[in-house]
Amino acid sequence: MKMMKSVMLFVLAALMLQPAFSQSEKFTGAMKKNIAALDSALSKNEIASLTDIAASFERIGDAEKTQWLPFYYAAYCRITLAFVKNEVAENDIVADKVDELIGKASALEKNNSEISLLKAMNASIRMLVNPMQRWMEYGQKSQQYSQDAMTQDPANPRPYWFNGVSLKNTPAEFGGGCGAAKPLLDKALELYAGFKPASELHPNWGKQVCEKEAAGCK
Amino acid sequence: MLLIGLLLTQFLQAQVTIKGVVKDNRNDPVAGASISLKDSYDGTTTDSAGRYSFKTSEKGQQLLVVTAISYKAWEQPVMLESGVLTVDVTLKQEISELTAVVLSAGTFEASDRKRAAAVLDPIDIVTTASANGDITQALKTLPGAQQVGESEGLFVRGGTAGETKSFIDGTLVNNFFFSSVPNIAQFGRFSPFIFKGTVFTTGGYSALYGQALSAALILESIDLPEQSSANLGLSVIGGSAGYQHLSKNKKSSFGASYSYTNLAPAFAIIKQRQDYSTVPFYHNADGNFRVKTSKTGILKYYGYFSSNKLAFTVNSIDSIGYLDKFALGNTNHFHNLSWKENLPGKWKINAGISYSNNQDDIRSAMQNNTGNEVQLTNLEAKTFRLDMKGDYFNAKLVLEKKFKGLSGIRFGSEYNFSKDRSVFTSYNGQAYPGNFRETISAAFAEADMYATNDLALKGGIRFEHSAVLNKVNLAPRLSLAYKTGKGSQASFAYGIFYQNPERRYLPSLNPLTFMKATHYILQYQKVLNQQSFRTEIFYKKYDNLVKTGNTGFTEAALNNNGFGDAKGIEIFWRDKKTIKDFDYWVSYSYLDTKRDFLNFPEAITPNFAAKHTGSLVMKKFVQKVKTNFNLSYTYSSGRPYYNIRYEGSAYKFTDRGTISDFHNVSFAFNYLPSVGKKDAKSFAVYVLQVSNIFNIRQTYGYQYSYNGLRKEAIVPTSRMFVYIGAFISFGVDRTDDVINSGL
């Protein structure tokens, strides 16, 4: 009976503790699950599931209210989907949604290098709708944001990765191509090697893609 | 027991399943919609059939939230107990510019606005081969405008050039083109690079614009430049230099440029039909400043000055062995100040004023073959001098209030003042001065109503008063658009348009009234994946056109008994997709028009209207050679020509016929050597343009001698024209404007 009591007390204590304890546990767990799903979707090229994963991240963000990472990942999923799908006619609509998500993230986390990079990527998505017409506006914005990202965290490899990939996909006649992209990709690889995310939930993506891109530029 | 109970409860809670289908108001499934319970992680997204299903451990009263891109958020309280809860959801579309139907009947828009239905970009204006950098020349490759080569202006859907008016930042521009020269079409005064948006309406346009029976060309000037820059231009016919300064805080800018053009070197190589004693030369200068007055407001000034001269002789058609001399001197100022600002409560103000001054000195005479001026019996009237001065002041104020979605109202007023003074000096030195003042005041209001993304309506009304006519008019306008499917829409426009009789018939001894046109336009458009198709059918009815009679000396307005109509069908197809890096468009217009106006003896197809008009415009950038190749072909079937003479007591045809079909193939290439040199300090564009590359004989019409016995074809000043130039800019890479690069 005594033992039963102590078990009861333990269970009650556990139940009472649960809200505080499980909230962060729940957040971490859900985020990890989503990040794993995102990694898996990208590695298996199951891009259709990116919308689901983005929505799931957004739900976490909306429920938590103080965490910027869910919004960051939600935006990242939608940006990646837009780049892969390459249906440029839809890009303005996607970019509006991404702006909304980035807005929520940056309201919680100011001057963040990772968020600035998303802004750069989103500007590129808008530019792709009509490059000839929009280069002046969105091309410059994209460059400005990735510059911001480099300044805000010089150890972040992703802005170098993004600029490198962008240049690689630009024809050599326009100053792009491997020759121009290689130094940036190499710099990104160097930074990836030493990069330690602030936590297991913080952005830590792009290394493998970068290695592949760099390998394609030999 | 308690423990088991607790576990059981939790187990049961986890069993609540929420499922359903999400559809839109057309009953189509919404895929990718996000379903969630507010403040929980639980939720899912819909599949391609709009279905969803998820489990939650939440219980009790919860808020179910559904969101989807382009739809309004939906939420509803739900009671979670156990088992399965089915909630079907109907989402309402978010009305937004990106997805909404566009009121596009009668309108070609090339602007930076994010619109689903746009078929043209501002850059298209400068990269069309036959355009030679002239805005109206580029617009002539669109359906609706005629290929009239003997005089400037846009002849739209059976209308005269005077029936098209141009507006910069909302206000009327009085001398949009360089002053007329007999049988030589003049260019527009303004560089296409100073505009970020061009709207060319071929009918059925908004109540904000008036005094144009046929068409309006609505231009919006650029805001702040991206950065400071300087540029230099050099061509075989002149040079230019300019500077733009953007302040450090990027809130204001100023700039100025100057150019000098002298056609002598070109005319030395390309033989002209005219024999020039003063080869055309132009001094053009402009200045601007732009100041951001707040986050959303901007004050813009653009000022322009031009001075140009020319004089030439041609073999006289009236007397063999003699020459007709024509000389023109022109100076023109144009100043435009505009302000736009968003006000609290979703109000917006657009205000603009413009002032311009135009001065033309024209001399006409006959010369003998030794170059001396002579007066021949019965041809004395060919010797005269005409000095004209005009002052024009225009002001416009538009207030706009936005409601939910894209709906809104707009109202305001417009004021156009003109003061024209002229002195006509006849061969015997007798001077006939003329003075003319006119004030046209207008008030207008219009409302945009978007019921859904699929249905939009714009209704407007315009009221005008003319001081000279001492009359008022009231013009209703209406347009409708309905989305018929993905990327496709049908639209309709109707409107009544009034315009004063042309300046040359005012003031009139006989009382005159406004001329009137009624437009009906039906359009179908489909824009999908870099391909655009549109077609329009229109009917335009003219009433109260000016009829003229012969006073014994001159032609003067008699009454407003003229009339006419125009009907036709137009097709436009543009494709940037089928062939990689290759962009082309095709346009075709069929026009059936007749009118009885001015001195026409009866209703006839006027000499500025061709039955069939078509264009093919092609653009290709070849990366390997860093060169942009542009080719354009324009065609128009033979226009009619007439010789109408006053004989006895009436105007009669003494000759009539049809000119041969018109063909023109123009080619332009722009070489951009500094493309891609990221750290280059200067950027160059080399231009070579050739018009009428196949040297095809082109005829614009016929002119007749005074006695009507001889006729002569009106042809271009030279069969072929070649232009070579280089433009260098420092600081800002203008070459990017021309490149279709992809990251």
CATH of residue B63's domain is: 2.60.40.1120
Min CA distance, A28 vs chain B (Å)?
12
The domain boundary, picked from B91, B121, B151, lies at B91
Q: How many domains does chain B have?
A: 2
Identify whether residues B118 and B223 lie together within a single domain. Answer: yes
Least confident residue range of B102-111, B246-255, B488-497: B102-111
Residue B47, chain A, CB below 8 Å: the answer is: no
Identify whether residues B202 and B299 lie together within a single domain. Answer: yes
Residue B168 within a domain: yes
Min CA distance, B523 vs chain A (Å)?
22
- Looking at every residue in chain B, the average pLDDT score rounds to 88
Residue-wise pLDDT for A172-203, tens only, equals: 766 778 888 888 999 999 999 999 998 889 99
Residue B102 within a domain: no
Share of chain B above pLDDT 90, in %: 59
Q: What residues in B contact A166, CB-CB < 8 Å?
A: 743
Residue B121, chain A, CB below 8 Å: the answer is: yes
Q: What residues in A contact B677, CB-CB < 8 Å?
A: 175
How far is B8 from B2, CA to CA, in rounded Å?
10
Q: At A91, phi and psi to the nearest 5? A: -60, -35
Identify whether residues B8 and B56 lie together within a single domain. Answer: yes
Identify whether residues B642 and B576 lie together within a single domain. Answer: yes
- Give the per-residue pLDDT at B128: 79
Residue B48, chain A, CB below 8 Å: the answer is: no
How far is B199 from B188, CA to CA, in rounded Å?
16
Residue-wise pLDDT for B371-386, tens only, equals: 888 888 888 889 999 9
Q: What residues in B contact A145, CB-CB < 8 Å?
A: none
Min CA distance, A106 vs chain B (Å)?
20
Identify whether residues B82 and B112 lie together within a single domain. Answer: no
Judged against a pLDDT cut of 50, whether residue B263 lies above it is answered with yes
CB contact under 8 A, B226 and A139: no
- Give the per-residue pLDDT at A57: 95
B27: its two tokens = 């009953």
How far is A81 from B423, CA to CA, in rounded Å?
71
Least confident residue range of A99-108, B373-382, B668-677: B668-677
CB contact under 8 A, A60 and B34: no
- Give the per-residue pLDDT at B609: 96
Judged against a pLDDT cut of 80, whether residue B624 lies above it is answered with no
- Give the per-residue pLDDT at B679: 52
Residue A36, chain B, CB below 8 Å: the answer is: no
Q: What residues in A contact B125, CB-CB < 8 Å?
A: none
Residue A13, chain B, CB below 8 Å: the answer is: no
Section B555-583 average pLDDT: 92
Min CA distance, B175 vs chain A (Å)?
30
Identify whether residues B701 and B566 lie together within a single domain. Answer: yes
Judged against a pLDDT cut of 70, whether residue B740 lies above it is answered with no
Contacting residues for B693 by C-beta, under 8 A, at least 6 apart = B665, B666, B667, B720
Residue B99 within a domain: no
- Inter-residue contact B286 to B326 (CB < 8 Å): no
The domain boundary, picked from B29, B60, B91, lies at B91
Domain that holds residue B56: 2-91
Contacting residues for B408 by C-beta, under 8 A, at least 6 apart = B346, B400, B401, B402, B447, B448
Judged against a pLDDT cut of 70, whether residue B116 lies above it is answered with no
Identify whether residues B460 and B527 lie together within a single domain. Answer: yes
How far is B597 from B607, CA to CA, in rounded Å?
12
Identify whether residues B415 and B467 lie together within a single domain. Answer: yes
Residue-wise pLDDT for B445-487, tens only, equals: 999 999 888 899 999 999 999 999 999 999 999 999 999 988 8
CATH of residue B118's domain is: 2.40.170.20
- Give the per-residue pLDDT at B735: 44
- Dihedral through CA A25, CA A30, CA A34, CA A37, nearest 10? 90
Identify whether residues B23 and B156 lie together within a single domain. Answer: no
Give the model's confidence band at A3: pLDDT under 50 very low, under 70 low, under 90 confident, else very high. low
- Give the per-residue pLDDT at B235: 84
- Give the per-residue pLDDT at A162: 92
Residue B100 within a domain: no
Judged against a pLDDT cut of 60, whether residue A12 lies above it is answered with no
More confident residue, B230 or B734: B230
Residue B98 within a domain: no
Q: What residues in B contact A30, CB-CB < 8 Å?
A: 41
Q: What residues in A contact B32, CB-CB < 8 Å?
A: 51, 55
Residue B479 within a domain: yes
Q: What residues in A contact B34, CB-CB < 8 Å?
A: 55, 58-59
Considering only CB atoms, A51 lies closest to which of B32, B36, B528, namely B32
Identify whether residues B68 and B211 lie together within a single domain. Answer: no
Least confident residue range of B496-505, B561-570, B664-673: B664-673
pTM score: 0.84
- Give the per-residue pLDDT at B586: 95
Identify whether residues B219 and B338 lie together within a single domain. Answer: yes
More confident residue, B119 or A122: A122
Residue-wise pLDDT for B295-329, tens only, equals: 999 999 999 999 999 999 999 998 888 999 999 99
Judged against a pLDDT cut of 90, whether residue B724 lies above it is answered with no
Residue B743 within a domain: no
Identify whether residues B356 and B380 lie together within a single domain. Answer: yes
Judged against a pLDDT cut of 80, whether residue B546 lies above it is answered with yes
CB contact under 8 A, B741 and A136: no
Section B574-602 average pLDDT: 92
Residue-wise pLDDT for A132-184, tens only, equals: 777 777 888 898 999 999 999 999 999 999 999 888 887 776 677 888 888 89
Residue A46, chain B, CB below 8 Å: the answer is: no
Residue B361 within a domain: yes
The domain boundary, picked from B39, B60, B91, lies at B91
Q: Which residues 86-115 of A are in CB contact (within 8 Å) with B?
A: 89, 92-94, 96-97
